Amino acid sequence: MRRLVSIFTEQLEEALKIGPKANLSPFSNSIENVVITGLGGSGIGGEIATQLVANQLKVPVVINNDYSLPEFVSSKTLVIVSSFSGNTEETLAALKIAQDKKAEIACITSGGKLADIAKENNYKLLVLPLAFSPRAMLTYSVVQQFFLLAHYGLIDSSYIEDVQNTIALLNREVDEIKDLAHQTALALNSKTAVLYIESGLEGVAVRMRQQINENSKALCWHHVIPEMNHNELVGWAGGKEEYAVIMLRTSYEHYRSSVRMNISKEIINKQTSTLLEIKAKGESKIEQAFYHILFGDWTSIYLAELNRVDDVEVKVIDYLKSELAKI
C-alpha cells in the first residue's frame, strides 16, 4: 500500500487521460437528477467529487450505497455505477434496478461483470487500470466522476486545471505532508481517532476514516461541523484521554462554521490533550481536499506500521464475502 500512496500524483496524471481516451458518445436528452451508486473505495469517490463541484451542479445528486435505488429514478436520471472490481453485489443489484427504470447509465470499473454488462448494453464505460486494492484507486474514481459530470454538461471543465494544479502542489508539499502524517500517527498510536471537518467536505473525512479502518486496522469515527455542535459536542462531557481528535481545516469553511470549529476546539481540549489541527494548503477546493486526502492516506500507512499490521489485507471482508456467497 505504501508504494501506491507514494505514486498518488502519478495516478492523478493518469486519471486525467482516461476520460478523453474513452471517446464517449454525446448525450442530447435532458438529465433531471443524478444517482452515483457504489460501495467502499468505489463509492466514496462520488461523494468527494460531487462535494467539490457542488457550486456548479445544475441538478440534484444523490450518493447511493445500497442494493436499491431511490424511487425517483427514471429515464431522465443519470445513474453512475462505480465498482472497481466490477463484481460488487450491492452495486450490481442497483444497476439492475437502473436498467429496469430505463435510466441513462454510465459505468466506472476495471472489469468484472460490470464491464461485461456495460459492453453488452453499449453503456458509457470508463475503464480503470487494474490494482490489488480499490481503496488505492481513489484518484481515478474522483477524476472519472468529474469527467462524466462534465460530459453530461452538469459541470464545466475547470476541474482539469484544478487537478493539474493539485498535482504540482502535492509534488511540492509531499515531504511536509509525510512528516505531518508521521507525527499525527504517533499522536494517534494507542488511541481512537476522531475526525472533524466542515459538512461540505465530509467525504474527505470519510475517506480518512476508511483508510484508518482498512490500512491501520483501527476504529475511528468522524462527524461534521455544524451538525456535531447540536449533539456530539455534548458527548465530550464524557471525553477521555483515549481519544485523539484531528480537525481538518480549509479556507473554504463558512465563516460561522470556522468560528464553531474554533470554539469546539476549546471545549474538546478540556477533555483530551490530543487535538491536532491540520490546515490544508492550495488555492482551489480541489487542491485543499486532495491535500487532506494524501495526508490521511500517509497517516494510515504510518499508523499501520506502529500497529504492526499488514496495511493491505482485509481478511475479515474476504470472510464476510465468502459467507455471503454461501447464501
Q: Which residue has the cell 452515483?
A: 36
Quick check: is 321 catalytic? yes
**Alpha-carbon torsion angle 85, 90, 92, 94, nearest 10:** -140
Cis peptide bond N-terminal to 134, omega within 30:
no
Angle at 188 between CA 318 and CA 142, to 5 degrees: 55
269 contact partners, CB below 8 Å, separation of at least 6: 275
Give the span between the Cα atoms of 63 and 247, in whole angstroms. 24
Joined grid coordinates for residue 118: 456495460
Joined grid coordinates for residue 110: 476495471
Strand partners, 243: 192
In single-letter form, the type of residue at position 325 comes to A
Say how many Å lie between the first and final Cα of the chain, rounded. Answer: 32
Quick check: is 292 catalytic? no
Cβ-in-10-Å burial (0-12, 13-18, 19+) of 195 comes to buried
Give the span between the Cα atoms of 202 and 159, in whole angstroms. 19
Identify the active-site residue in 214, 253, 285, 292.
214
Quick check: is 182 catalytic? no
- Indicate which residues carry an active-site annotation: 214, 230, 321
